[in-house]
Chains A and B, each alone.
Chain A
Amino acid sequence: MLITVLTFARAGHPGHDRRDFVTLAQLAAPDGLVHGLTRASTLLGVIALCVAAAQVAGEYSNGTLRNLLVRQPRRPVLLVAKLAAVLSFMVGAALVAAVAGSAAAVVMAHVRGIATSGWSSATGLHVFAQGFANTALVVAGYTTLGMALGVLLRSPVSSIAVGLAFMLPIEAILSAAVSGLDRWLPGQLLDVVSQGGSSTLSYGAACLRAAVILAIAAGGAMALFVRRDVTS
């Protein structure tokens, strides 16, 4: 909601020439409502990564994993259920954020004098639904990565620290240092997914590559979770 408010508050600000600012005309377009949500996708994803990593790694560090495994010894079932629980929670949180952000957008549009008729058109609703679906995919991706890190490192602090360090500064540095590498890094790919594609990578290709990377991460986490002894 805050990002939506800031997006609308800074839109068309005179004298700025930064590319990440939108204009008032862009916000009045049918896709104007999703600008805030799209910008918030990465933040929602990072939160999802932190929640998933803390939830899974916390079971190890608190010793509660042994309670769970004594009652549900089928480890794949347990991990999938855990992922589904965190995923549904985070997608629900993203839905709440989308609704709250939309309410804020309507208020801010009124304040800034932006026409909102295009938002409720069929095109506008379709774009909004697609924007939310992309955000949900991004949240799902970050949740999967957080879960994999939680299983791998077994410590909430370590999992979150490593996850944030890799997804934010390290990926940015790698992308800047090696040309074309950004098209193979999960955080960068999920960013492209949230934007519905980019000039260098199509939406479909970004989804496919992200899905492959996430499947590898999830598969590795599952294999580790199933085979590793629970000694905590």
Chain B
Amino acid sequence: MSQETEHSVPTQATVPSVSGAAPPGDAIRTTGLSRRFGERVAVDGVDLSVPRGVISGFVGPNGAGKTTTIRMLLGLIRPTAGEGHVLGESMTHPETYLDRVGALIEGPAFYPTLSGRDNLAALARLGGIPRPRVASRCSSPC
């Protein structure tokens, strides 16, 4: 269990990881997930297992590598080492699972030249929500 105890990101709702293929019950599972930026180690051998159907927190001090880990799970950053699965699909092919994932990384990002309503409509269209539904939801009062 050396990896389990060595990783730099403390987690809650972490259950012991298993080797081999991702069990169907895991929403997220990583094994030895690491990321270096030059000499700096941002994420160091994270073994993480989050079962499906539970509400989990991923907490740690600033600079612990939480955001980097989540960005790796979303395919925004490549891991230096290790592997992971999200919803049973390999992290190396995020296109196979990201249509079933919702993510708000750190703060929300908006287009400054668009109105709030247009920003919401753009995000909804990115999510594949049909235009009529977007129009009806964005025009109704919050």
Contacts and interface: CB of A to CB of B under 8 A. Distances in A.
A229 interface: yes
A66 B107 CA distance: 11
B54 interface: no
Contacts of A229: 71, 76-78
Per DSSP, chain B at the interface is loop
A66 B76 contact: yes
A71 B125 CA distance: 10
Interface in A11-69: 58, 62-64, 66-69
Interface string A97-126: 000000000000000000000000000000
Given A62-B111, A230-B77, A231-B77, A70 B95 contact: no
Interface residues of B, number: 22
A169 to B, nearest CB: 29
A66 B98 contact: no
Interface in B59-113: 71, 74-78, 94-95, 98-99, 101, 103, 105, 107, 109-112
Contact of A230 (B76, B99, B110): B76
Nearest to A231: B77
Given A71-B98, A73-B98, A229-B76, A62 B71 contact: no
A74 B95 contact: yes
B41 to A, nearest CB: 15
B101 A64 contact: no
A68 B126 CA distance: 7
Contacts of A62: 109-112
Q: Which of B71, B78, B94, B109 has the most CB of A within 10 A?
A: B109
B110 A69 contact: no
Interface of A: 58, 62-64, 66-74, 227, 229-231
8 contacts: A66-B74, A67-B126, A71-B98, A71-B128, A73-B94, A229-B76, A229-B77, A231-B76
